[in-house]
Amino acid sequence: MLGLLASATPSFAADVSWNGGNNTHWSQKQNWSTNNVPTSTDNAKFSGTFTNQPSTTAAATVGGIWMATGVGQNVTIGGTFVLTLAGNTINGIAGLGILVDNTSAFTLTINCPLAISAAQAWTNNSGNLLTIGAVNLSTFGLTVNGTGSTSITGIISASSSAGTITKSGTGTLTLSGTNTYTGTTTVSAGILNIQNGSALGTTAAGTTVSSGATLQLQGSITVGAEALTISGTGAAGQNGALVNVSGTNNYGGLLTLGAATTISSDSGTLNLTNVGTITGSGSGLTITGAGSGSISSIIGTGTGSLTKNGSGTWTLAGVNTYTGATTVNAGTLNVTGSLASGSTVTVNNSGTVLGGTGTINGSVSISSGAILRAGTGSTGQTLTMRGAVTMGSGSVLSLALGASGAHSTLAIGPGGSISFQSAQVFNMIDLGVTAGTTFTGIITGIGSDPTTEGSWTINNQSWAYNFTYDSSNGGEINLTVSALPEPSTYVAGALALAVLCYGLCARFARVRFRTQRSDNNQPATINH
């Protein structure tokens, strides 16, 4: 009976501390505090200081690795043989393969190949970096969590079936290897930063970013057709659930919006290159950031909205079908594909630009200081409007003008209309304008004469010019530039200013000279 009771009693893991007193061999029992090498039910613990760093000189299995409070130096586990982590209870926390909770500024680096033989978590709760080399997941799931940063620099593989990666906790996990695991990747909290186009493994299972988490792209990488389900505004301190950190990064997977979602290009360029349809019925999409971005996909979120924030430029290339509102609050939104007729477009705030070479089928309102630009800054480009366009008071129209009458065009298409402000303001992009040139049809399809073109102004050029209405081609606006400022005007102005300054300076010097003689009854010294 006593024997039966004893055999039923679970065996709790022992913490076996590395002292490295003999040599670097992991498998040398004299290097461990108990004079025994830790096994699959033991934790290899690192605390205090030691002479030799451990190295695997043969394949080994251990329950877990504990970088404990009280460690007195950085720890590096090297070697070419595989160290297998079985998962264990470390410091009272079950299911761990690695725990870093040292409070001192010491790091744990594992350069030997790792494998896991059970589902487990690796937890870094310190402010020190946990760095891992190659990892074989086999068929198991690995969760990386904690408040600290973890970097897996080697290849994450799965020797059979699908192994999975989950990022939880508020810290950051960085993946930079050419990974081959086939299971899902889940970012449930914190930040997953990828710096390799294959960092998410094969494209078989896809990636999910939960609300409150962020997937970062960095290093000018190209990700294949990895399906991405994404939600929310991102982790704490982040500008979106999907963030371009730096470089030109291309993401080839098709997006699904699990809820209202924000995508940010903080710097560089983010290209979402899949030409399929982004789904997520009723979910709003916000695109933002100081960098640029492009969406080749069709945004097909039903009544979902699109909001453009941030100072950067984003381009919509798809034949979009969403019918929610399109709101442009900052930066530039270029439409090179199309927007559906059900989507009402509003452009707010001074300097904000709506432009492109595509077709906008819904109604458009341009507020004071906001800009409607035909094209993207070059001649020979046309932006077509097929809804009611309202140019609000103080709004701006922008076109590119070049040599020999070349220009961009704002075309009012079938079903469209435009109402100008009485003193419509224009900004013209000068790409080689010469005096005496008429730019025919800079705005087309306007129907009847607006009758206010005599009061229209170009506020960023010093040309002599004239806007006219032409009933040809459904009614269009022409612009004739009759004269440009002569360079001699600027030279004469500069000479006049110099003469004026010389006279004033000389007069000031004479007055100061007289004042000093009067005050001191002594010859004065003039200081320049």
Q: Which amino acid is residue 127, in one-letter code?
A: G
What DSSP string runs through 196-255?
STTTT--SSS-EEE-TTEEEEEESS-EE-S--EEEEES-STT-S-SEEEEESEEEE-SPE
Q: Which two tokens stand for residue 491?
A: 């030279």
Distances (CA, A) of 371 to 11, 374, 387, 399: 72, 10, 17, 10
Torsion of CA 77, 137, 154, 37, to 10 degrees: 10
Give residue 486's pLDDT.
79
The partner residues of 132 in beta bridges, in order of sequence, read 110, 152
Nearest to 75 by CA among 106, 44, 99: 106
Element (H, E) at 95: strand 93-100
DSSP string covering 476-514: EEEEEEEE---HHHHHHHHHHHHHHHHHHHHHHHHHHHH
Predicted local confidence at residue 37, as pLDDT: 96
Residue with tokens 């982040």: 238
The length of the chain is 528
Q: What CA dihedral angle connects 62, 67, 71 and 76, to 10 degrees?
A: 70
- For residues 465 and 513, the answer to whether their CB atoms sit within 8 Å is no
Six-digit token pair at 113? 């190949």
- Give, for all 528 residues of the chain, the pLDDT tens digit: 333 333 333 344 699 999 999 999 999 999 999 999 999 999 999 999 999 999 999 999 999 999 999 999 999 999 999 999 999 999 999 999 999 999 889 999 999 999 999 999 999 999 999 999 999 999 999 999 999 999 999 999 997 678 999 999 999 999 999 999 999 999 999 999 999 999 999 999 999 999 999 999 999 999 999 999 999 999 999 999 999 999 999 999 999 999 999 999 999 999 999 999 999 999 999 999 999 999 999 999 999 999 999 999 999 999 999 999 999 999 999 999 999 999 999 999 999 999 999 999 999 999 999 999 999 999 999 999 999 999 999 999 999 999 999 999 999 999 999 999 999 999 999 999 999 999 999 999 999 999 999 999 999 999 999 999 999 989 999 999 999 997 654 444 444 444 444 444 444 444 343 434 334 443 333 232
Predicted local distance difference test score (pLDDT) of residue 159:
75
Q: 3-state secondary structure string, 255-322?
A: EEEEEEEEEEECCCEEEECCCCEEECCCCCEEEECCCEEEECCEECCCCCCEEECCCCEEEECCECCC
Calculate ∠ Cα 164-138-187, nearest 5°: 15
SS3 21: coil
- CA 148-152-157 angle, to 5 degrees, is 140
What is the reported pLDDT for 162?
87
Beta bridge partner(s), residue 319: 338
SS3 519: helix
Confidence at residue 13, expressed as pLDDT on a 0 to 100 scale? 63
pTM of the predicted structure, to 2 decimals:
0.89
The HSE-up count of residue 522 (CA atoms within 13 Å, CB side) is: 4
- The full 3-state SS of 23-53, as one line of letters, equals CCECCCHHHECCCCCCCCCCEEEEEECCCCC
Which of 387, 391, 375 is CA-nearest to residue 428? Answer: 375
End-to-end CA distance of the chain: 110
**HSE (side-chain half, CA atoms, 13 Å) at 20:** 18
- Which helix (DSSP H) or strand (DSSP E) does residue 85 occupy? strand 83-85
